[in-house]
Amino acid sequence: MYALDFFCGAGGLTRGLSDAGIEVVAGFDNDEACGTTYRDNNEGIEFYLSDVRELTVDQLHMTGEGPWLFAACAPCQPFSNQRRTTTVHKDATLLGELGRLVSAVRPTYVLVENVAGIARVPGFSTFRRFLRKISGCGYQYAYGVLDAKHYGVPQTRRRLVLLASRWGAPTLPDATHGSHRRDVCTVRDAIGHLPPIEAGGHADGVANHSAARITARNLERLFNTPIDGGDRRSWPDELVLNCHRKTKGYTDVYGRMTWGKPAPTLTSKCNSISNGRYGHPEQNRAISLREAAAIQTFPDDYVFHGTAGQVAKQIGNAVPVTFAEALGRHILALQSTFKDDIREA
């Protein structure tokens, strides 16, 4: 099976599908910083610096007979729970552009991963228009919200997954971890092997194992945050931020991760203690970029390129590699079943 990865970013989906045994031919993204990372870590797979809105069928470079998979993790900012404005985001139509290419090419399979909120947008939304378009092209589909921690990822990360097929009625993969299955993976499983560093420091010989600098005041706050899951509720009064004095919520901000649990959902600012529970379980710093990548199940030899902000964005926006591999293996299993059904018919 061959695949094209649209909105490929740094390559988490590409690497996972490749690990599953699917031959990814090319990735498409309009971020050159992502392109450097993608090319460096996915030898033999072409990266095209392209805006999907401008892609034509001829530019897809599909040479194999197939079957083909179109895989996509369209930018999720238009549908994120963290988005507070009601204005239309410039990326809100990108899923429709994928639908345009699917309609023109009719690949055997389509895989879409996005934030859970994309299916909750009221009215004739981008997601519903996409479903209507692919249904009109003869696709059957299944979709639902899956949590990556149930597929071997050391992170609570709920995402909508849609799988469509022209060969038969698809299903979504069953969970492999948690609830009387294999134990869920934890923060310790992911980052416990990495050497200690200080805030603002890095480890020689370990790619991307660098931690953001923090102010003296925030360092004092971390010193007063209990190790292994503590949060700002333990701070003395003089360290409490004014914006937190009138609310008991948002306790994840400035909090520490817990060794024995999955990490919280990583975002594009996952290397900052002021943007979530991104404090190291016991060291007085935010998690490093390498640790964030490990929580996203990138191997330690997967090297990210760009500024710290660009790398954090590449990591936080990625599909976790192990999750992508589970989806790829499921698609291959469906392909085998569908082929057997065709032969019997």
- Torsion over CA of 235, 290, 48 and 108, rounded to 10 degrees? -90
Residues 6+ positions from 339 with CB-CB distance below 8 Å: none
Token representation of residue 287: 């998690």
Domain containing residue 125: CATH number: 3.40.50.150
Of the candidates 209, 184, 180, 189, the one whose C-alpha atom is nearest the C-alpha of residue 289 is: 209
How many residues are listed for the chain in this entry? 345
Query: How many Å apart are CA 156 and CA 262, to the nearest integer?
Result: 6
Decide if 188 contacts 260 (C-beta within 8 A): yes
Long-range pairs of 169-172 with CB within 8 A, sequence gap ≥ 24: 169/140, 169/142, 170/109, 170/140, 170/141, 170/142, 170/334, 171/142, 171/330, 171/334, 172/142, 172/143, 172/144, 172/146, 172/330
Task: Report DSSP letters for 38-101, one per residue.
Answer: HHHHSTT-EEEE--GGG--GGGG---S---EEEEE----GGG-TT----SPPTTTTHHHHHHHH
Per-residue pLDDT at 75:
79
- Sheet containing strand 2-6, edge to edge, reads 46-49, 23-29, 2-6, 68-72, 109-115, 158-165, 140-147
Per-residue pLDDT at 341:
63
DSSP E strands in the chain: the ranges are 2-6, 23-29, 46-49, 68-72, 109-115, 140-147, 158-165
The region that residue 147 occupies, defined by phi over 0 for left and psi between -120 and 50 for alpha, beta otherwise, is beta
Per-residue pLDDT at 86:
46
Does a structural domain hold residue 103?
yes
Range of the domain at 104: 2-181+320-344
Does a structural domain hold residue 136?
yes
**Using omega within 30 degrees of 0 as the cis cutoff, is the peptide bond preceding 67 cis?**
yes
For residue 136, give the DSSP letter. H
pLDDT tens, position by position, 195-254: 999 999 999 999 999 999 999 999 999 999 999 999 999 999 999 988 888 777 778 999
Per-residue pLDDT at 82:
46
Does a structural domain hold residue 251?
no
Of the candidates 110, 15, 26, 98, the one whose C-alpha atom is nearest the C-alpha of residue 67 is: 110
Does a structural domain hold residue 94?
yes
Does a structural domain hold residue 25?
yes
Helix (H, G, I), strand (E, B) or coil at 199: coil
How many CB atoms within 10 Å of residue 217? Answer: 9
pLDDT tens, position by position, 139-169: 999 999 999 999 999 999 999 999 999 999 9
Whole-model pTM above 0.95?
A: no
Per-residue pLDDT at 61:
80
Decide if 84 contacts 16 (C-beta within 8 A): no
Query: How far is the first Cα of the chain from the last one, in angstroms, to the nearest whole number?
Result: 22
Does a structural domain hold residue 37?
yes
Number of domains present in the structure of the chain? 1
For residue 227, give the DSSP letter. T
Decide if 36 contacts 305 (C-beta within 8 A): yes
Residues with pLDDT less than 70, the chain: 76-92, 122-124, 340-345
Residues labelled as active-site residues? 76
Does a structural domain hold residue 221?
no
Query: How many Å apart are CA 271 and CA 263, to the nearest integer?
Result: 13
Decide if 126 contacts 72 (C-beta within 8 A): no
Does a structural domain hold residue 55?
yes
Query: How many Å apart are CA 10 and CA 211, to the nearest integer?
Result: 20
Residue 303's Cβ-side half-sphere holds a number of Cα atoms within 13 Å equal to: 9
Strands 46-49 and 158-165: unpaired
